[in-house]
Structure formats: C-alpha cells, structure tokens
Amino acid sequence: MTTNDKKNKQDPILEQVIRLDDQYYAPVYGRRLPVCIASGKGVWLEDTSGHRYLDMIGGIAVNVLGHAHPRLTEAIARQAAAVIHCSNYFYNVPQAQLAARLARLSGLADARVFLANSGAEANEAAIKLARGYFYHQGQSREKIVSALHSFHGRTLATASATGQSKYSAPFAPLPPGFVHVPYNDLTALEAAVDTSTCAVLLEVIQGESGVMPADPAYLQLAEKLCRQTGARLIIDEIQTGMGRTGRFLAYEHVQIKPDIITMAKGLAGGVPIGAMIANQETATGFHTGDHGTTFGGNPLACSAALAVLDEFESADLVANAARTGEKLQKMLRRLAEHQPLIKEVRGRGLMIGVELASPLAVAVKLDLLAAGYLVGSVGDCIIRLLPPLILDQKELPPFCEAFERTLKEAAAK
C-alpha cells in the first residue's frame, strides 16, 4: 500500500471524493496530490483530515487575498442577498463601477473594458477585437504573432495562440492565422511582424513555461513594430497582473504602452472573472452585437472584484508583493549558494520560479506537501511559487527551512 493509499484510508471523506472523481469527473487533471481542501483562513488551507498547509501557490495566482478574507466574503454575501445575476440587456451598478476602475488602473488612453468569465475568454475577446479593428476599417488582417512556450488559454483560438503544441495538437484542425516565434528573439520577432500582422500577443513573464521573464528590449521592439505596421499590441496580464510582480500590471516595469490588456485570475480573489481592456482607438473594433457574454460582468463577480481592489488600496498589497517577493527571492538565492540542486531562481515580486538541476520537481512538491506547504511545479525541473499577496514575511523563514530540508532529502535519494 502506498503512502497516498494509507492517507486515503485514514480520511474517509477523501476516499469517497476520490472514488466519485474517478467515476464521474472528466479525466483532464491527473490529480496526484492526495488532498481534499475543506476550508481556509488567510494564507492557510485545511484539508478534510484536518491537516493545515501554507498556501504558496494561491490557486495558481488567483487567491490574492488568501482565503475567507472578511472584506471579500462580506461583499459577496451582501451582493448575493441583493442580486447575483442579471442579463446584460440591462445596466448594473457594480459592472459600471468596475469598468471605470479598471479603465483608470490600466493606464490606457480613454480605455474601454469588456468583462468575461475567465482569462481564456478575455484573450478570446482580445483576438476578436484586434481582427475586428481591421475589419471595420475595410482591411483583412488575420496574422497574430505570439511566442513559443507561451500560454494564453484553452479555447480553440487561445490554444492556437499558445506556443505549446501539447495544448492544441489533439484538437486540429485549428483556427488559422497564428504564428509563433522564439521568446526574447528580437530577430525572429522583427521578421514575423509586417503589414499583414493583426496583433502581437505576449506575456511579460511566461508563467506556464516556468516563470520566464521577457527582456525589456524584446517587449519594446514588439511595441515599435506594432506602431510601424499598425498591428495591435496585446499584453496578456492574466497571471502577471493584479500586483503579482510588484506593479499593478507587469508591463509597467518595461515602460511600454499596449493597445489591449487582458486580466483574470486574481481580479476577484477567486470568483470567476476576466477582463479585456483596450484603448479608445482599438475599441472601435467592436460594434454593437459583435461580441457578448451571458455571465460576464454579473453583479456578484463585479462586487467581488471591487472589494479586492478596495483591499489592494487600503492594505497597499502591490507594495507588499514587491517587498515580500524581493525578500523571498533573496532567501532562495542564498539557499542556492550552498544547495547545488537549485540551478536558478527567477521572477518578479511574488511570481517566482525555482529551477532545479535534476528532474525532481514533482518529488519535491510532494515532499513539501507532506511538510505542510503547497507549491506548484512546471515540468520536471521547476518549482513555481504564486502565494497570496497578503503573505507575511514571518512565514518566509519556516518555508525556506522546509524547502532546504526537502531539497537535501531529494538529493540524497
């Protein structure tokens, strides 16, 4: 009997959930962590057997306020008691307020906002808007240039934009018009962008490939090429936005000006939402009836997002992400100085990737789980950290000590 089997037998709720999941849920996740989350408070989660875990993955950058945050839970309860959903045939107050708030925060000129339900939907809207922008000018431009190893979503169009064939190959034929170039390769980018290009779609930091930052020169060249050719510059801030990198939006680090920004993940602290924000000129790509959504921009999700943004301001969480992230990265780099299993520590703010010198990432993740720490892994060699932005620096030394112990044990096996 494996350790996981023993744990399941000791937790009848977990055993039952796994049995139901195996029988009824679509087999898309390959769950290997024997944990069923029951509740959370702050940066801590508790499973059905009563074990507590420091959440260092934050729902993959979603739970920016941690768990059961009073401001967020109160806003959700208050709005649910009033109205959860109404059709977009009608106005609703939280939607209008959130659109105005995001337009101001985006930094884009006279910005227009479209609210959806996920990051994939936000990117789907951005792709449609960029093509619509040229269509309504009487031009036909379909080519969208994105980077290899990127991740932009799992719809057919966003999986096609994603520069990893494992997300799209099983679903061919794919929508045409997507071209992928090597990330941070200026020559390849310059060769790909021309007057037939509709848009360039890039991440400031590629999260799903292992926290790979873009060179500022690469993003600046992308902006320059878009201005020269008229193509729209789309910056995917779905994982990097909401203060994750120590700025509200990661593009602010490199002093570029996108035409379209997409957001999701942490925007409503766990309530599903996505946002596409475009400057006034680019927003002319949508005319009435060109796009829409049933659930996007509903009062519940928008009230949650407004509460999150209020807490960001009152608690200065963007600055906390910068400070805490810098300290955590320094501690991890000091650890790397005497731990040969760490090859590189990279990232910004509280978006951190630790690349290992051996393919032990999954084993390390499982060992940290057993020690009471939830982390992510990318491939075989990268540990990914995306904790809540409320993370206190007092939590860092115990985590780093546990990480060091785990690495020593992994190296000794």
Which candidate in 128, 143, 265, 365 is catalytic? 265
Burial class (CB in 10 A: 0-12, 13-18, 19+), 65: buried
Which candidate in 114, 134, 151, 399 is catalytic? 151
Tell me, yes or no, if 265 is annotated catalytic.
Answer: yes
The rounded distance, in Å, linking the Cα atoms of 331 and 402 is: 13
Check if the beta carbon of residue 276 is closer than 8 Å to that of residue 126. yes
Per-residue b/e over 352-379, b at no fewer than 16 CB within 10 Å?
A: bbbbbeeebbebbbbbbbebebbbbbbe
| Helix axis angle, 93-106 to 299-315, nearest 10° | 40
Q: Which residues contact 253 (CB under 8 A, 6 or more apart)?
A: 204, 216, 245, 246, 247, 348
Which candidate in 47, 55, 236, 259 is catalytic? 236
Check if the beta carbon of residue 45 is closer than 8 Å to that of residue 68. no
The rounded distance, in Å, linking the Cα atoms of 78 and 63 is: 20
The angle at the Cα of 234, spanning 229 to 240, to the nearest 5 degrees, equals 145
**C-alpha pair distances (Å), 301 with each of 10, 145, 231, 272, 404:** 37, 32, 32, 7, 40
The rounded distance, in Å, linking the Cα atoms of 57 and 20 is: 25
Place of tokens 């009062």: 299
The rounded distance, in Å, linking the Cα atoms of 121 and 265 is: 12
Task: Count how many Cα atoms sit within 13 Å of the Cα of residue 365 in the half-sphere of its side chain.
Answer: 27
Tell me, yes or no, if 236 is annotated catalytic.
Answer: yes
Token pair recorded at residue 127:
């792709």
Name the residues annotated as catalytic: 151, 236, 265
